[in-house]
Chains A and B, each alone.
Chain A
C-alpha cells in the first residue's frame, strides 16, 4: 500500500518509527515539522514516488490530507 510508503517517508524524515499519519495531521502535531523538514519531506516524497510537486502544491500542503490528495492526482494509490 502506498499509504504505508508515505508513512515511512514521514517516519524517516522526522526520525520517529512510531509516527502514524492521518489526513488531519499538521505541522503543529509533529515536532520539528518546520520549513526545513517540510522541504525534506517534499524531496523524499518526490524521489519515492518519482514525481515532482509544483511550488503552489508544496506551499498548499497544510496537512497530511493535502499531501495525499496531490499524490493521488499524480497517480499514486494512497
Chain B
C-alpha cells in the first residue's frame, strides 16, 4: 500500500540529506507494512498534511540525528557525556523553545521509527506492556518524562477507555505532546502537567507507569525511581527504559550494563518481571554502541 506522506518524506530526505535517503527503503524492507503505517501516522500528526511542516520535521530529525552521531564519536573518544548536569541541560535544551521545536522534539518523535533499535523498543512496548494495560480493569497510566508524547499516545491507543497523565519539566514538550493527543483524538483522556517527580511526588497512585529513556538524563536516577515506586499502585506494573552508552544532547548519567540499571530499580523497591536489551548497531571496533535497556517491573 502506498503511504503518501512517507513517500514525500523520502523525497525530502533525498534532497536535503542524500546520505540518509536509502535508510527509509532499508527499514521498509526490514519491518514491513506495520512499520510504514506507523511512520505515516506519525508524520501526518507532526505535519497535519502541510508539506512545509513535514520538511521542517525532516530537517529537525536530520539535525538531531547527525548531532547525536557526532556526540557518540566524542563519547567514544572521551568516555563521558558532554552534558555535566541536569540543570545545564534543562536550560540549554528543555527550556529552549527554538531548539525544542526545531530539532529535539521532531528528532525524539521520528527516531521511534527511523532508528531500528528504537523501533524494536516500540514493538516491545506494544507487544508486552500494552497487552498488560488491555488485560487490566483499571486502565490508568502515568507517563513520567512525556517528551514528544509518543508513548502516551501509544498507551492511549490500547483501548478507548485508557486514561493517562503525563509529567514533564518542559512546557514546550507538554505543548507538543498535547498537539499530538489532539491529532489522534485523545485530548479528553490525557492531561499533561509540568512537574519534576523527583522532588514533587504526586499523591495519586497508578496501576501503570511509563518512563521511557529518562533516567540517564538525571544526576541521580535512583531519586526519581523512588518517587516512581511511591506512585505505583499495589499490583501495578511499570515500563522503564534507559539508554546505555548513548551520547545524546541531554544525557548525563552513563549506564554501561543492564545490571547497573537493574540494581537501581531494585534499590528503589521495584521487582523486575521482564527485561530486554537492544543495540543500535553491531559493534564497530572498540567504540561503545548505543543500547536500550528496557524493564517491565512491579
CB under 8 Å from chain A, chain B span 61-101? 62-63, 65-67, 69-70, 73
> For the complex, is B22 an interface residue (Cβ under 8 Å from A)?
yes
- Which of A28, A36, A56, A63 contacts B69, CB < 8 Å? A36
**Could you tell me if A59 and B17 are in contact, using CB atoms closer than 8 angstroms?**
yes
Size category of the A interface is 10 to 19
Query: With contacts A39-B73, A62-B16 known, is A28 near B21, CB below 8 A?
Result: yes
Closest to A36 in B: B69
> For the complex, is A38 an interface residue (Cβ under 8 Å from B)?
yes
A35: chain B residues within 8 A (beta carbon) = 17, 19-20, 23, 65-66, 69
Measured CA separation A37–B20 after assembly (Å):
10
A28: chain B residues within 8 A (beta carbon) = 14, 18, 21
B22: chain A residues within 8 A (beta carbon) = 34
Measured CA separation A31–B20 after assembly (Å):
12
- Which of A27, A37, A43, A56 contacts B70, CB < 8 Å? A43
B69: chain A residues within 8 A (beta carbon) = 35-36, 39
CB under 8 Å from chain B, chain A span 22-48? 26-28, 33-39, 42-43
Q: Taking chain B's interface residues, is the majority helix, strand, or loop, or is none over half, making it mixed?
A: helix
> For the complex, is B4 an interface residue (Cβ under 8 Å from A)?
no
A59: chain B residues within 8 A (beta carbon) = 16-17, 59, 62-63, 66
A43: chain B residues within 8 A (beta carbon) = 70, 73
Q: Closest Cβ of chain A: how far from B103's Cβ, in Å?
A: 8
> For the complex, is A58 an interface residue (Cβ under 8 Å from B)?
yes
Closest to B14 in A: A28
Q: Closest Cβ of chain A: how far from B58's Cβ, in Å?
A: 10
Closest to A43 in B: B73
Q: Closest Cβ of chain B: how far from A35's Cβ, in Å?
A: 5
**Could you tell me if A27 and B21 are in contact, using CB atoms closer than 8 angstroms?**
yes
Q: Of residues B17, B18, B63, B69, which shows the largest number of chain A Cβ atoms within 10 Å of its Cβ?
A: B18
Residue ranges of B at the interface with A (Cβ–Cβ < 8 Å): 14-23, 59, 62-63, 65-67, 69-70, 73, 103
In the complex, besides A38-B19, A43-B73, 17 extra interface pairs with C-beta distance below 8 angstroms are: A26-B18, A28-B21, A33-B18, A34-B22, A34-B23, A35-B17, A35-B65, A38-B20, A39-B70, A43-B70, A55-B63, A55-B66, A55-B70, A55-B103, A58-B66, A59-B17, A62-B17
Between A and B, 10 residue pairs with Cβ closer than 8 Å are A33-B19, A34-B23, A35-B19, A35-B20, A37-B19, A39-B73, A42-B70, A59-B62, A59-B66, A62-B16
